[in-house]
Amino acid sequence: MINIKYFLKGFFCIKDLNSPAIALAASFIAIGALFKNIGLNIQESIFSTFLTYALPGSLIMAESLIVGASLLNIFLAVWLVNARLYPMTVSLFPSLTHKSQPRLKYYFACHFIAVSAWLIMKENYKSVQRKYRLDYWIGVGVANLSVAVSATAFGFLISDHLNKDMMIGLAIVNPVYFICVMIGAMKTIQMSLSVILGSLFGISFYFISPEWCILLGGFTAGTLAFFIGELNGN
C-alpha cells in the first residue's frame, strides 16, 4: 500500500528549515479563531480544515456564512478561488507517477495539494526514487494537513485570547512565507517571469473583475512567461 520508509521521509520534511509549518500554523490558528467567532463548533472547524485544506477557500466559506450566501454561491466562489489547485496538480503529478502505484492512490493523494506541501515537493521530488515519490508525497501531505488541523483546533480554543492586532499579525505570516518561497523559486527566465508577471497581472485584472483576477491574471502571465522563456532558451 504505502512504503513506510518513504512516507516517514516525506512526513519529517516538516521539520526542515524551509518548512511551511510556522506559516501554516499561523494561518490556520487565525482560521480556527475565525470559525469560532462566526459560530462553528470545534468539530465543524476541524472537519472543515480536514476536508477542505485550502486556506482561501475556507476564508470564502466563512465570509459566505456571515452574509448567508446560498450553497450554489459558495460552491462557485470557492471553486473559482481554489481553481489554482488545477494547474498545481497538473504541474506536479506527472513527476510522481509510476506504473507500480494503483490509480486510486492518486485520487486520494491529490487531496494534499495545497501551496505549502506543493512547494516542498517541487523542491524535493528529484531527490526521491520515482517509484516511491507518491508515498513520499503522501507523507509530506499528511504532515502538513496534521499541522493545519491541529492549528485550527488550537486557534478555536484560544480565540478568546486573540485580540485584533494578534489576528492581523497572524494573517501576514502566510503571504510573507510564500513571497520568500516564490523568490527562492525564481531560478530560470520562465519561473522569474511567471512570478513577476503573475503578481502584476493579478493586480491589474482585479480592476476588471475581482472574482476572476487570479485565474485570468495567472493564465495570461503564465502563458506569456512560457513563450518568452521558450524563445530565450528557458
Distance CA 214, CA 80 (A): 9
Cell of 234: 528557458
Among 3, 42, 63, 158, binds other proteins (CB under 8 A): 63
96-135 positions binding other proteins, by CB under 8 A: 97, 106-107, 110-111, 113, 115, 118
136-175 positions binding other proteins, by CB under 8 A: 164-173, 175
31-50 positions binding other proteins, by CB under 8 A: 34, 38-40, 44, 47-48
CB of 163 vs other proteins, minimal distance in Å: 9
Binding segment for other proteins (CB under 8 A), chosen from 4-12, 135-143, 152-160, 219-227, is 219-227
**In this structure, are residues 177 and 23 in contact, taking their beta carbons and an 8 Å threshold?**
yes
Among 42, 84, 123, 154, binds other proteins (CB under 8 A): 84
Q: How many residues lie near other proteins (CB under 8 A)?
A: 111
Phi, psi of 214 (to 5 degrees): -70, -45
Per CB under 8 A, does 28 bind other proteins?
no
Distance, CA of 177 to chain centre = 12
Among 11, 14, 28, 78, binds other proteins (CB under 8 A): 78
Binding segment for other proteins (CB under 8 A), chosen from 3-11, 90-98, 131-139, 148-156, is 90-98
Phi, psi of 92 (to 5 degrees): -115, -45
CA nearest 203: which of 215, 192, 211, 213?
Answer: 213
Cα–Cα separations (whole angstroms), residue 4 to 21, 123, 146: 22, 21, 17
* Closer by beta carbon to other proteins, 4 or else 180: 180
Among 176, 208, 209, 232, binds other proteins (CB under 8 A): 176
Per CB under 8 A, does 65 bind other proteins?
yes
Strand, helix or coil for residue 140: helix
Among 64, 123, 146, 158, binds other proteins (CB under 8 A): 64
Residue 159: how many other CB atoms lie within 10 Å: 18
Give the CA-trace dihedral at 97, 110, 11, 194, to 10 degrees: 80
* Closer by beta carbon to other proteins, 1 or else 72: 72
